[in-house]
């Protein structure tokens, strides 16, 4: 029984060390959530206002712009998937990947070829393991993205949209990311960024009443050429920030669950160790009593 007690003690030490690690990771994630929330709150109004500005310019322009004009028969669609670089965040990356797969299936059912772009090592590993081609990928900044990172992601996407499909371009641009709703709720969503849906923007974001008249200098197309890249960059930046906040929240929740499970396992192992110790003591007492009784019987026989 002594060997069994040593096994229990060794397991308790191992689980205790794991509990310290998960508790530290939980506290780190909790601290980073606050910073990520502030970044999301600061970037969302800018992204929303820029969307309204692009919509207003596009509606006030007399000519059609390629980035706001629906293609009659779209053939290729780019899908930007945002996952994490690190694990230990529960189902955060897996849920985003599932949402991207559902979107890809829907686009293929509409007769469109899907061109994937991936952010995060988890998404890159998922596509590599399944031998799926990825147009371009980015890693190393998912837990703390900057605007420079968003611009680096947006540049090839904008170029793909402006290029003809015969030359490897795309007709549509979609993004899949995890929306940060609250500390307890994060949901993977898919949004179409381009072509910009002017009707939807007009119904949901533009105020009621008469519309303002615009004069463009040097031209409406020039203004759109300048605004639309900023629109894509701001939307991708906001998506990266929301995904980062969601990742930290998911990791905090996963690490708290791991810490709680470690505590329960330590209690269970402690009970088993106590039982093994008690069994050892009982056995030793029984052996002492038995030995004393045998000695007494031997002494009485000799007399």
C-alpha 9/C-alpha 277 separation (Å) is 11
Q: From residue 205, how far is each of 195, 202, 249, 292 by CA, in Å?
A: 17, 6, 29, 92
More confident residue, 209 or 75: 75
Q: Which of 102-111, 195-204, 237-246 has the lowest mean pLDDT?
A: 195-204
Q: From residue 303, how far is each of 36, 238, 296, 297 by CA, in Å?
A: 88, 97, 11, 10
pLDDT, position 204: 42
pLDDT, position 250: 94
Q: Terminus-to-terminus CA distance in the chain, angstroms?
A: 38
Question: Which residue is listed with tokens 């890159």?
Answer: 124
Per-residue pLDDT for 203 more than 60?
Answer: no
Q: From residue 53, how far is each of 57, 198, 202 by CA, in Å?
A: 6, 11, 11
pLDDT, position 129: 95
pLDDT, position 275: 86
- Region 224-228: mean pLDDT is 80
pLDDT, position 212: 56
Per the CB < 8 A criterion, the answer to whether 105 and 77 are in contact is no
Per the CB < 8 A criterion, the answer to whether 134 and 117 are in contact is yes
Q: Which of 47-61, 111-125, 135-149, 262-276 has the lowest mean pLDDT?
A: 47-61
More confident residue, 217 or 244: 244
Per-residue pLDDT for 201 more than 50?
Answer: no
Per the CB < 8 A criterion, the answer to whether 1 and 280 are in contact is yes
- Band of pLDDT at residue 303, cut at 50, 70 and 90: low
Global confidence as pTM:
0.82
DSSP-assigned beta bridge partners for residue 103: none
Alpha helices for the chain (secondary structure H) = 2-60, 92-109, 121-129, 147-162, 198-204, 220-302
C-alpha 70/C-alpha 64 separation (Å) is 10
Helix (H, G, I), strand (E, B) or coil at 177: strand
Model pLDDT for residues 142-183, shown as the tens digit of each residue = 999 999 999 999 999 999 988 887 788 899 999 999 999 988
């Amino acid at each position: 029984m002594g060997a069994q007690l040593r096994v229990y003690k060794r397991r308790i030490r191992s689980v205790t060390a794991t509990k310290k690690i998960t508790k530290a990771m939980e506290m780190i994630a909790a601290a980073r959530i606050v910073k990520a929330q502030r970044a999301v709150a600061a970037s969302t109004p800018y992204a929303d206002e820029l969307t309204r500005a692009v919509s207003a310019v596009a509606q006030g322009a007399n000519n059609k712009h390629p980035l706001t004009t629906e293609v009659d028969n779209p053939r290729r669609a780019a899908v930007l998937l945002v996952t994490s670089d690190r694990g230990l965040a529960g189902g955060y990356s897996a849920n985003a990947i599932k949402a991207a797969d559902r979107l890809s299936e829907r686009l293929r059912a509409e007769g469109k070829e899907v061109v994937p772009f991936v952010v995060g090592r988890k998404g890159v590993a998922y596509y590599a393991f399944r031998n799926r081609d990825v147009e371009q990928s980015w890693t190393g900044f998912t837990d703390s993205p900057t605007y420079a990172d968003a611009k680096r992601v947006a540049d090839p996407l904008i170029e793909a949209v402006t290029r003809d499909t015969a030359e490897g371009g795309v007709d549509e641009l979609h993004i899949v990311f995890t929306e940060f709703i609250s500390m307890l709720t994060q949901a993977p969503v898919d949004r179409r960024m381009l072509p910009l849906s002017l009707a939807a923007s007009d119904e949901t974001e533009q105020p009621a009443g008469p519309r303002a008249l615009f004069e463009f200098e040097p031209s409406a197309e020039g203004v759109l050429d300048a605004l639309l890249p900023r629109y894509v960059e701001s939307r991708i930046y906001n998506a990266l920030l929301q995904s980062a906040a969601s990742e930290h929240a998911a990791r905090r929740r996963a690490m708290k669950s791991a810490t709680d499970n470690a505590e329960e396992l330590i209690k269970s192992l402690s009970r088993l160790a106590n039982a093994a110790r008690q069994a050892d003591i009982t056995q030793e007492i029984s052996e002492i009593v038995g030995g004393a009784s045998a000695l007494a019987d031997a002494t009485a026989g000799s007399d």
